Structure 1
Protein backbone atom coordinates (compact mmCIF):
# COMPACT_ATOMS: atom_id res chain seq x y z
CA UNK A 1 0.00 0.00 0.00
CA UNK A 2 1.31 3.41 -0.93
CA UNK A 3 2.27 5.69 1.93
CA UNK A 4 -0.30 8.55 1.93
CA UNK A 5 2.18 10.89 3.60
CA UNK A 6 5.57 10.31 1.99
CA UNK A 7 6.86 13.64 3.29
CA UNK A 8 6.48 12.40 6.87
CA UNK A 9 8.62 9.30 6.43
CA UNK A 10 11.10 10.57 3.85
CA UNK A 11 14.56 11.40 5.13
CA UNK A 12 16.22 14.18 3.23
CA UNK A 13 19.96 13.93 3.57
CA UNK A 14 22.09 16.99 3.07
CA UNK A 15 25.54 17.96 4.14
CA UNK A 16 27.03 21.24 5.26
CA UNK A 17 30.59 22.39 4.86
CA UNK A 18 32.73 22.62 7.96
CA UNK A 19 32.43 26.32 8.88
CA UNK A 20 33.71 26.05 12.44
CA UNK A 21 37.11 24.36 12.09
CA UNK A 22 38.99 27.55 11.33
CA UNK A 23 40.91 26.11 8.36
CA UNK A 24 38.97 27.55 5.41
CA UNK A 25 39.33 31.20 6.37
CA UNK A 26 43.01 30.74 7.20
CA UNK A 27 43.67 28.80 3.99
CA UNK A 28 41.85 31.38 1.87
CA UNK A 29 43.65 34.34 3.40
CA UNK A 30 46.96 32.49 3.25
CA UNK A 31 46.70 31.61 -0.44
CA UNK A 32 45.48 35.06 -1.47
CA UNK A 33 48.10 36.83 0.63
CA UNK A 34 50.85 34.60 -0.73
CA UNK A 35 49.86 35.29 -4.31
CA UNK A 36 49.30 39.02 -3.94
CA UNK A 37 52.36 39.59 -1.73
CA UNK A 38 54.84 37.87 -4.01
CA UNK A 39 53.25 39.16 -7.21
CA UNK A 40 53.49 42.69 -5.82
CA UNK A 41 57.02 42.17 -4.51
CA UNK A 42 58.30 40.77 -7.79
CA UNK A 43 56.48 43.43 -9.79
CA UNK A 44 57.93 46.21 -7.63
CA UNK A 45 61.50 44.92 -7.67
CA UNK A 46 61.25 44.03 -11.36
CA UNK A 47 59.85 47.45 -12.13
CA UNK A 48 62.94 48.92 -10.52
CA UNK A 49 65.13 47.06 -12.99
CA UNK A 50 66.43 44.27 -10.72
CA UNK A 51 68.03 41.24 -12.33
CA UNK A 52 67.31 37.52 -12.08
CA UNK A 53 69.26 36.94 -8.86
CA UNK A 54 67.64 39.86 -7.02
CA UNK A 55 64.16 38.81 -8.13
CA UNK A 56 64.73 35.22 -7.09
CA UNK A 57 66.08 36.29 -3.71
CA UNK A 58 63.18 38.73 -3.18
CA UNK A 59 60.57 36.14 -4.07
CA UNK A 60 62.12 33.44 -1.91
CA UNK A 61 62.48 35.77 1.06
CA UNK A 62 58.91 36.93 0.62
CA UNK A 63 57.67 33.34 0.55
CA UNK A 64 59.50 32.24 3.70
CA UNK A 65 58.96 35.40 5.73
CA UNK A 66 55.32 35.71 4.72
CA UNK A 67 54.47 32.06 5.41
CA UNK A 68 56.03 32.22 8.87
CA UNK A 69 54.33 35.52 9.63
CA UNK A 70 50.92 34.28 8.47
CA UNK A 71 51.24 31.02 10.42
CA UNK A 72 52.26 32.77 13.64
CA UNK A 73 49.61 35.44 13.16
CA UNK A 74 46.82 32.91 12.67
CA UNK A 75 47.97 30.83 15.65
CA UNK A 76 48.11 33.87 17.93
CA UNK A 77 44.80 35.24 16.68
CA UNK A 78 42.83 32.01 17.06
CA UNK A 79 44.53 31.12 20.37
CA UNK A 80 43.71 34.56 21.80
CA UNK A 81 40.12 34.33 20.61
CA UNK A 82 39.71 30.88 22.17
CA UNK A 83 41.20 32.09 25.46
CA UNK A 84 38.78 35.00 25.50
CA UNK A 85 35.87 32.63 24.86
CA UNK A 86 37.12 30.33 27.65
CA UNK A 87 37.21 33.27 30.07
CA UNK A 88 33.65 34.23 29.17
CA UNK A 89 32.48 30.63 29.51
CA UNK A 90 34.06 30.49 32.98
CA UNK A 91 32.08 33.59 33.98
CA UNK A 92 28.91 32.08 32.54
CA UNK A 93 29.43 28.79 34.41
CA UNK A 94 29.92 30.72 37.65
CA UNK A 95 26.64 32.57 37.09
CA UNK A 96 24.83 29.33 36.31
CA UNK A 97 25.98 27.92 39.65
CA UNK A 98 25.29 30.93 41.86
CA UNK A 99 22.28 32.39 40.07
CA UNK A 100 20.49 29.66 38.08
CA UNK A 101 17.12 31.41 38.30
CA UNK A 102 18.45 34.66 36.90
CA UNK A 103 20.24 32.88 34.04
CA UNK A 104 17.06 30.95 33.23
CA UNK A 105 15.13 34.23 33.08
CA UNK A 106 17.72 35.58 30.64
CA UNK A 107 17.06 32.66 28.31
CA UNK A 108 13.32 33.08 28.63
CA UNK A 109 13.56 36.76 27.75
CA UNK A 110 15.75 36.08 24.70
CA UNK A 111 13.54 33.31 23.37
CA UNK A 112 10.34 35.26 23.92
CA UNK A 113 11.88 38.21 22.06
CA UNK A 114 12.43 35.85 19.13
CA UNK A 115 8.79 34.80 19.13
CA UNK A 116 8.76 31.67 21.30
CA UNK A 117 5.69 31.32 23.57
CA UNK A 118 6.41 32.31 27.16
CA UNK A 119 5.26 28.98 28.58
CA UNK A 120 7.41 26.90 26.27
CA UNK A 121 10.45 29.15 26.77
CA UNK A 122 10.14 28.88 30.55
CA UNK A 123 9.65 25.11 30.38
CA UNK A 124 12.85 24.59 28.37
CA UNK A 125 14.80 27.01 30.60
CA UNK A 126 13.64 25.15 33.71
CA UNK A 127 14.76 21.81 32.25
CA UNK A 128 18.20 23.26 31.46
CA UNK A 129 18.68 24.30 35.11
CA UNK A 130 19.08 20.63 36.00
CA UNK A 131 21.72 20.10 33.29
CA UNK A 132 24.53 22.65 33.82
CA UNK A 133 26.74 21.43 30.97
CA UNK A 134 23.95 21.67 28.42
CA UNK A 135 22.83 24.95 29.95
CA UNK A 136 26.34 26.35 29.48
CA UNK A 137 26.30 25.26 25.85
CA UNK A 138 22.95 26.95 25.24
CA UNK A 139 23.98 30.15 27.02
CA UNK A 140 27.21 30.23 25.02
CA UNK A 141 25.31 29.93 21.77
CA UNK A 142 22.65 32.46 22.71
CA UNK A 143 24.83 35.08 24.42
CA UNK A 144 28.27 34.63 22.84
CA UNK A 145 27.37 33.09 19.50
CA UNK A 146 29.83 30.18 19.92
CA UNK A 147 29.64 26.43 20.44
CA UNK A 148 32.07 25.57 23.29
CA UNK A 149 33.19 22.20 21.92
CA UNK A 150 33.51 23.39 18.31
CA UNK A 151 36.03 26.20 18.67
CA UNK A 152 38.58 26.49 15.85
CA UNK A 153 42.00 24.94 16.39
CA UNK A 154 44.89 27.44 16.41
CA UNK A 155 47.22 24.74 15.07
CA UNK A 156 44.88 23.97 12.17
CA UNK A 157 44.55 27.65 11.35
CA UNK A 158 48.31 28.20 11.55
CA UNK A 159 49.15 25.16 9.42
CA UNK A 160 46.56 26.03 6.77
CA UNK A 161 47.74 29.61 6.57
CA UNK A 162 51.44 28.67 6.44
CA UNK A 163 51.08 26.04 3.71
CA UNK A 164 48.61 27.99 1.56
CA UNK A 165 50.67 31.19 1.75
CA UNK A 166 53.77 29.27 0.63
CA UNK A 167 51.89 27.63 -2.24
CA UNK A 168 50.40 30.94 -3.37
CA UNK A 169 53.73 32.76 -3.14
CA UNK A 170 55.39 30.03 -5.19
CA UNK A 171 53.37 30.74 -8.35
CA UNK A 172 55.04 33.99 -9.48
CA UNK A 173 58.41 32.62 -8.38
CA UNK A 174 58.29 29.56 -10.66
CA UNK A 175 59.96 31.07 -13.77
CA UNK A 176 62.95 32.27 -11.73
CA UNK A 177 63.31 28.88 -10.04
CA UNK A 178 63.42 27.33 -13.53
CA UNK A 179 66.20 29.71 -14.59
CA UNK A 180 64.05 32.05 -16.66
CA UNK A 181 64.35 35.82 -16.29
CA UNK A 182 60.99 37.01 -17.56
CA UNK A 183 59.03 39.38 -15.32
CA UNK A 184 55.88 39.30 -17.43
CA UNK A 185 55.81 35.51 -17.48
CA UNK A 186 56.10 35.51 -13.69
CA UNK A 187 53.24 37.99 -13.39
CA UNK A 188 51.12 36.01 -15.85
CA UNK A 189 51.63 32.79 -13.87
CA UNK A 190 50.76 34.70 -10.70
CA UNK A 191 47.62 35.96 -12.42
CA UNK A 192 46.63 32.39 -13.28
CA UNK A 193 47.14 31.46 -9.64
CA UNK A 194 44.94 34.35 -8.51
CA UNK A 195 42.16 33.34 -10.88
CA UNK A 196 42.32 29.69 -9.83
CA UNK A 197 42.34 30.58 -6.11
CA UNK A 198 39.38 32.92 -6.53
CA UNK A 199 37.48 30.31 -8.53
CA UNK A 200 38.07 27.67 -5.83
CA UNK A 201 36.78 30.04 -3.15
CA UNK A 202 33.72 30.63 -5.31
CA UNK A 203 33.09 26.89 -5.43
CA UNK A 204 33.32 26.64 -1.64
CA UNK A 205 30.77 29.42 -1.21
CA UNK A 206 28.41 28.32 -4.02
CA UNK A 207 29.04 31.51 -5.99
CA UNK A 208 29.93 31.65 -9.71
CA UNK A 209 33.52 30.41 -10.01
CA UNK A 210 34.38 32.79 -12.82
CA UNK A 211 33.23 35.81 -10.82
CA UNK A 212 35.41 34.86 -7.85
CA UNK A 213 38.35 34.24 -10.16
CA UNK A 214 37.99 37.57 -11.96
CA UNK A 215 37.61 39.46 -8.70
CA UNK A 216 40.87 38.12 -7.30
CA UNK A 217 42.63 38.63 -10.63
CA UNK A 218 41.58 42.28 -10.74
CA UNK A 219 42.56 42.95 -7.12
CA UNK A 220 45.94 41.27 -7.54
CA UNK A 221 46.47 43.09 -10.83
CA UNK A 222 45.87 46.44 -9.16
CA UNK A 223 48.44 45.60 -6.48
CA UNK A 224 50.98 44.58 -9.14
CA UNK A 225 50.41 47.76 -11.17
CA UNK A 226 50.84 49.94 -8.09
CA UNK A 227 54.06 48.29 -6.93
CA UNK A 228 55.50 48.13 -10.45
CA UNK A 229 54.90 51.84 -10.86
CA UNK A 230 56.54 52.63 -7.50
CA UNK A 231 59.46 50.34 -8.29
CA UNK A 232 59.95 51.99 -11.68
CA UNK A 233 59.93 55.46 -10.13
CA UNK A 234 62.41 54.48 -7.42
CA UNK A 235 64.59 52.62 -9.92
CA UNK A 236 64.82 55.71 -12.12
CA UNK A 237 65.56 57.91 -9.11
CA UNK A 238 68.45 55.81 -7.80
CA UNK A 239 69.97 54.88 -11.16
Structure 2
Protein backbone atom coordinates (compact mmCIF):
# COMPACT_ATOMS: atom_id res chain seq x y z
CA UNK A 1 0.00 0.00 0.00
CA UNK A 2 1.31 3.42 -0.93
CA UNK A 3 2.31 5.73 1.92
CA UNK A 4 2.09 8.85 -0.23
CA UNK A 5 -0.32 11.29 1.44
CA UNK A 6 -3.46 12.13 -0.49
CA UNK A 7 -3.75 15.80 -1.36
CA UNK A 8 -7.14 17.42 -1.63
CA UNK A 9 -7.98 18.68 -5.10
CA UNK A 10 -8.96 22.31 -5.58
CA UNK A 11 -11.74 22.45 -8.16
CA UNK A 12 -12.65 26.12 -8.01
CA UNK A 13 -11.90 29.44 -6.41
CA UNK A 14 -14.12 32.21 -5.08
CA UNK A 15 -14.04 35.92 -5.68
CA UNK A 16 -13.49 38.29 -2.76
CA UNK A 17 -16.96 39.26 -1.55
CA UNK A 18 -15.94 40.87 1.74
CA UNK A 19 -13.66 43.69 0.61
CA UNK A 20 -16.24 46.39 1.14
CA UNK A 21 -15.71 48.09 -2.23
CA UNK A 22 -18.32 46.56 -4.56
CA UNK A 23 -21.50 47.87 -2.91
CA UNK A 24 -20.41 51.52 -2.57
CA UNK A 25 -18.84 51.49 -6.05
CA UNK A 26 -21.94 50.08 -7.73
CA UNK A 27 -24.26 52.27 -5.72
CA UNK A 28 -22.06 55.30 -6.48
CA UNK A 29 -22.14 54.83 -10.25
CA UNK A 30 -25.88 54.21 -10.28
CA UNK A 31 -26.60 57.12 -7.98
CA UNK A 32 -24.32 59.45 -9.94
CA UNK A 33 -25.94 58.54 -13.22
CA UNK A 34 -29.54 58.69 -12.05
CA UNK A 35 -29.28 61.72 -9.76
CA UNK A 36 -27.26 63.94 -12.10
CA UNK A 37 -29.22 62.88 -15.17
CA UNK A 38 -32.41 63.69 -13.27
CA UNK A 39 -30.97 67.01 -12.09
CA UNK A 40 -29.93 67.96 -15.62
CA UNK A 41 -33.32 66.84 -16.96
CA UNK A 42 -35.09 69.04 -14.41
CA UNK A 43 -32.95 72.07 -15.25
CA UNK A 44 -33.42 71.48 -18.99
CA UNK A 45 -37.14 71.06 -18.45
CA UNK A 46 -37.30 74.46 -16.77
CA UNK A 47 -36.01 76.06 -19.97
CA UNK A 48 -32.56 76.98 -18.67
CA UNK A 49 -29.68 77.67 -21.05
CA UNK A 50 -26.80 75.26 -21.62
CA UNK A 51 -24.48 77.36 -19.41
CA UNK A 52 -26.87 77.05 -16.47
CA UNK A 53 -27.29 73.32 -17.09
CA UNK A 54 -23.50 72.86 -17.01
CA UNK A 55 -23.12 74.73 -13.73
CA UNK A 56 -25.99 72.78 -12.17
CA UNK A 57 -24.54 69.49 -13.39
CA UNK A 58 -21.08 70.28 -12.00
CA UNK A 59 -22.58 71.30 -8.68
CA UNK A 60 -24.58 68.07 -8.60
CA UNK A 61 -21.46 66.03 -9.37
CA UNK A 62 -19.32 67.66 -6.67
CA UNK A 63 -21.93 67.77 -3.94
CA UNK A 64 -23.14 64.25 -4.63
CA UNK A 65 -19.64 62.75 -4.72
CA UNK A 66 -18.61 64.35 -1.43
CA UNK A 67 -21.94 63.44 0.16
CA UNK A 68 -21.60 59.81 -0.91
CA UNK A 69 -18.01 59.60 0.31
CA UNK A 70 -18.84 61.18 3.66
CA UNK A 71 -21.86 58.96 4.17
CA UNK A 72 -19.98 55.77 3.27
CA UNK A 73 -17.02 56.64 5.48
CA UNK A 74 -19.23 57.43 8.47
CA UNK A 75 -21.41 54.37 7.93
CA UNK A 76 -18.56 51.87 7.54
CA UNK A 77 -16.49 53.49 10.29
CA UNK A 78 -19.39 53.35 12.74
CA UNK A 79 -20.11 49.73 11.85
CA UNK A 80 -16.44 48.81 12.29
CA UNK A 81 -16.21 50.59 15.65
CA UNK A 82 -19.31 48.79 16.89
CA UNK A 83 -17.89 45.47 15.72
CA UNK A 84 -14.57 46.12 17.47
CA UNK A 85 -16.41 47.04 20.66
CA UNK A 86 -18.32 43.75 20.59
CA UNK A 87 -15.10 41.84 19.90
CA UNK A 88 -13.52 43.56 22.90
CA UNK A 89 -16.44 42.39 25.05
CA UNK A 90 -15.83 38.84 23.85
CA UNK A 91 -12.10 39.06 24.63
CA UNK A 92 -12.78 40.27 28.16
CA UNK A 93 -15.29 37.47 28.74
CA UNK A 94 -12.80 34.85 27.57
CA UNK A 95 -10.14 36.26 29.91
CA UNK A 96 -12.56 36.48 32.86
CA UNK A 97 -14.47 33.24 32.48
CA UNK A 98 -12.74 30.93 29.97
CA UNK A 99 -14.58 27.79 31.07
CA UNK A 100 -18.01 29.28 30.42
CA UNK A 101 -16.93 30.64 27.04
CA UNK A 102 -15.46 27.28 26.10
CA UNK A 103 -18.74 25.61 27.06
CA UNK A 104 -20.64 28.19 25.00
CA UNK A 105 -18.51 27.43 21.95
CA UNK A 106 -18.94 23.67 22.47
CA UNK A 107 -22.73 24.10 22.68
CA UNK A 108 -22.65 26.12 19.46
CA UNK A 109 -20.77 23.39 17.59
CA UNK A 110 -23.08 20.75 19.03
CA UNK A 111 -26.09 22.66 17.75
CA UNK A 112 -24.50 22.51 14.29
CA UNK A 113 -24.32 18.73 14.26
CA UNK A 114 -21.15 17.72 16.10
CA UNK A 115 -21.42 15.04 18.75
CA UNK A 116 -21.17 16.39 22.32
CA UNK A 117 -17.76 14.83 22.89
CA UNK A 118 -16.30 16.10 19.64
CA UNK A 119 -17.80 19.57 20.16
CA UNK A 120 -16.20 19.81 23.59
CA UNK A 121 -12.84 18.64 22.24
CA UNK A 122 -12.89 21.14 19.36
CA UNK A 123 -13.77 23.97 21.74
CA UNK A 124 -11.02 22.86 24.15
CA UNK A 125 -8.40 22.79 21.42
CA UNK A 126 -9.42 26.22 20.12
CA UNK A 127 -9.31 27.69 23.62
CA UNK A 128 -5.72 26.62 24.16
CA UNK A 129 -4.62 30.01 22.85
CA UNK A 130 -6.52 33.20 23.70
CA UNK A 131 -5.66 34.86 20.36
CA UNK A 132 -7.26 31.97 18.51
CA UNK A 133 -10.21 31.72 20.89
CA UNK A 134 -11.49 35.28 20.59
CA UNK A 135 -11.15 35.23 16.81
CA UNK A 136 -13.18 32.03 16.63
CA UNK A 137 -15.84 33.46 18.92
CA UNK A 138 -16.01 36.61 16.79
CA UNK A 139 -16.58 34.57 13.65
CA UNK A 140 -19.02 32.12 15.19
CA UNK A 141 -21.04 34.45 17.43
CA UNK A 142 -20.80 37.82 15.67
CA UNK A 143 -20.50 36.54 12.12
CA UNK A 144 -17.49 38.75 11.31
CA UNK A 145 -13.86 38.13 10.43
CA UNK A 146 -11.81 40.35 12.78
CA UNK A 147 -8.85 40.15 10.39
CA UNK A 148 -10.85 41.32 7.37
CA UNK A 149 -13.10 44.16 8.49
CA UNK A 150 -14.24 46.59 5.75
CA UNK A 151 -12.14 49.72 5.30
CA UNK A 152 -14.01 53.03 5.66
CA UNK A 153 -11.41 54.76 3.48
CA UNK A 154 -11.79 52.19 0.73
CA UNK A 155 -15.58 52.50 0.87
CA UNK A 156 -15.41 56.32 0.81
CA UNK A 157 -12.87 56.46 -2.01
CA UNK A 158 -14.63 53.97 -4.25
CA UNK A 159 -17.95 55.67 -3.60
CA UNK A 160 -16.54 59.13 -4.41
CA UNK A 161 -14.90 58.03 -7.66
CA UNK A 162 -17.85 55.92 -8.75
CA UNK A 163 -20.37 58.71 -8.17
CA UNK A 164 -18.19 61.23 -10.02
CA UNK A 165 -17.83 58.90 -13.01
CA UNK A 166 -21.54 58.21 -13.12
CA UNK A 167 -22.49 61.87 -12.73
CA UNK A 168 -20.03 62.91 -15.44
CA UNK A 169 -21.68 60.85 -18.17
CA UNK A 170 -24.87 62.95 -18.68
CA UNK A 171 -22.82 66.13 -18.20
CA UNK A 172 -20.20 65.38 -20.87
CA UNK A 173 -22.00 66.96 -23.87
CA UNK A 174 -22.45 70.24 -22.00
CA UNK A 175 -18.81 70.28 -20.82
CA UNK A 176 -17.64 69.69 -24.40
CA UNK A 177 -19.77 72.57 -25.66
CA UNK A 178 -22.22 70.40 -27.55
CA UNK A 179 -25.16 71.38 -25.37
CA UNK A 180 -27.36 68.72 -26.93
CA UNK A 181 -30.01 67.16 -24.76
CA UNK A 182 -30.34 64.30 -27.24
CA UNK A 183 -26.65 63.40 -26.91
CA UNK A 184 -26.92 63.58 -23.12
CA UNK A 185 -29.93 61.27 -23.20
CA UNK A 186 -28.14 58.73 -25.40
CA UNK A 187 -25.02 58.76 -23.22
CA UNK A 188 -27.08 58.43 -20.04
CA UNK A 189 -29.14 55.58 -21.46
CA UNK A 190 -25.98 53.76 -22.57
CA UNK A 191 -24.37 54.33 -19.18
CA UNK A 192 -27.41 53.07 -17.30
CA UNK A 193 -27.67 49.95 -19.42
CA UNK A 194 -23.92 49.25 -19.26
CA UNK A 195 -23.68 49.58 -15.48
CA UNK A 196 -26.80 47.50 -14.96
CA UNK A 197 -25.43 44.82 -17.27
CA UNK A 198 -22.03 44.89 -15.52
CA UNK A 199 -23.60 44.42 -12.10
CA UNK A 200 -25.67 41.57 -13.48
CA UNK A 201 -22.51 39.89 -14.81
CA UNK A 202 -20.76 40.27 -11.45
CA UNK A 203 -23.71 38.66 -9.70
CA UNK A 204 -24.12 36.04 -12.44
CA UNK A 205 -27.50 37.33 -13.57
CA UNK A 206 -28.84 38.08 -17.05
CA UNK A 207 -27.01 41.12 -18.50
CA UNK A 208 -30.01 42.00 -20.64
CA UNK A 209 -32.36 41.97 -17.68
CA UNK A 210 -29.97 43.88 -15.41
CA UNK A 211 -29.23 46.52 -18.02
CA UNK A 212 -32.86 46.90 -19.04
CA UNK A 213 -34.03 47.18 -15.44
CA UNK A 214 -31.53 49.91 -14.62
CA UNK A 215 -32.35 51.76 -17.86
CA UNK A 216 -36.05 51.69 -17.07
CA UNK A 217 -35.59 52.93 -13.49
CA UNK A 218 -33.21 55.71 -14.52
CA UNK A 219 -35.46 56.82 -17.38
CA UNK A 220 -38.46 56.97 -15.06
CA UNK A 221 -36.58 59.13 -12.54
CA UNK A 222 -35.32 61.51 -15.25
CA UNK A 223 -38.77 61.77 -16.84
CA UNK A 224 -40.44 62.67 -13.54
CA UNK A 225 -37.78 65.27 -12.75
CA UNK A 226 -38.03 66.75 -16.24
CA UNK A 227 -41.78 67.09 -15.83
CA UNK A 228 -41.37 68.80 -12.45
CA UNK A 229 -38.78 71.17 -13.90
CA UNK A 230 -41.02 71.98 -16.85
CA UNK A 231 -43.98 72.74 -14.59
CA UNK A 232 -41.93 74.89 -12.22
CA UNK A 233 -40.24 76.70 -15.09
CA UNK A 234 -43.57 77.49 -16.70
CA UNK A 235 -45.00 78.70 -13.38
CA UNK A 236 -42.18 81.13 -12.58
CA UNK A 237 -41.61 82.43 -16.11
Q: Tell me the TM-score range normalised by the shorter chain.
A: over 0.9
- Residues 30-66 of structure 1: per-residue CA shift (max 9 Å, x gap): 1111101101101111111111011101111111111
- Residues 194-235 of structure 1: per-residue CA shift (max 9 Å, x gap): 111111111111111121111111111111111111111111
Q: Is the CA contact 1:43–1:187 (under 8 Å) kept in the aligned structure 2?
A: no
Correspondence for 1:130 among 128, 133, 138:
128
Q: Which residue of 1 aligns with 2:145?
A: 147
Matches within 5 A, 1:43-62: 43-62=41-60
Q: Whole-Å Cα distance in 2 between the matches of residues 90 and 12 of structure 1?
A: 36
Correspondence for 2:225 among 213, 224, 227:
227
Q: Whole-Å Cα distance in 2 between the matches of residues 41 and 207 of structure 1?
A: 30
Deviation at residue 10 of structure 1 after TM alignment: 6.1
Deviation at residue 12 of structure 1 after TM alignment: 2.5
**Where does the alignment leave 5 or more consecutive residues of structure 2 unmatched?**
none
Correspondence for 2:102 among 93, 101, 104:
104
Q: Is the CA contact 1:36–1:223 (under 8 Å) kept in the aligned structure 2?
A: yes
Q: Which residue of 2 aligns with 1:186?
A: 184
Q: Which residue of 1 aligns with 2:12?
A: 14
Q: Which residue of 1 aligns with 2:77?
A: 79
Correspondence for 1:63 among 55, 61, 64:
61
**Where does the alignment leave 5 or more consecutive residues of structure 1 unmatched?**
none
Q: Whole-Å Cα distance in 2 between the matches of residues 89 and 204 of structure 1?
A: 32
Q: Which residue of 2 aligns with 1:173?
A: 171
Q: Whole-Å Cα distance in 2 between the matches of residues 54 and 62 of structure 1?
A: 12
Deviation at residue 185 of structure 1 after TM alignment: 2.1
Q: Is the CA contact 1:104–1:126 (under 8 Å) kept in the aligned structure 2?
A: yes
Q: Is the CA contact 1:20–1:152 (under 8 Å) kept in the aligned structure 2?
A: yes
TM-score by length of 1: 0.93
Correspondence for 1:161 among 131, 155, 159:
159
Question: How many residues are matched?
Answer: 233
- Residues 67-90 of structure 1: per-residue CA shift (max 9 Å, x gap): 111111111111111111110111
Deviation at residue 9 of structure 1 after TM alignment: 5.0
Q: Whole-Å Cα distance in 2 between the matches of residues 120 and 10 of structure 1?
A: 23
Q: Whole-Å Cα distance in 2 between the matches of residues 225 and 84 of structure 1?
A: 41
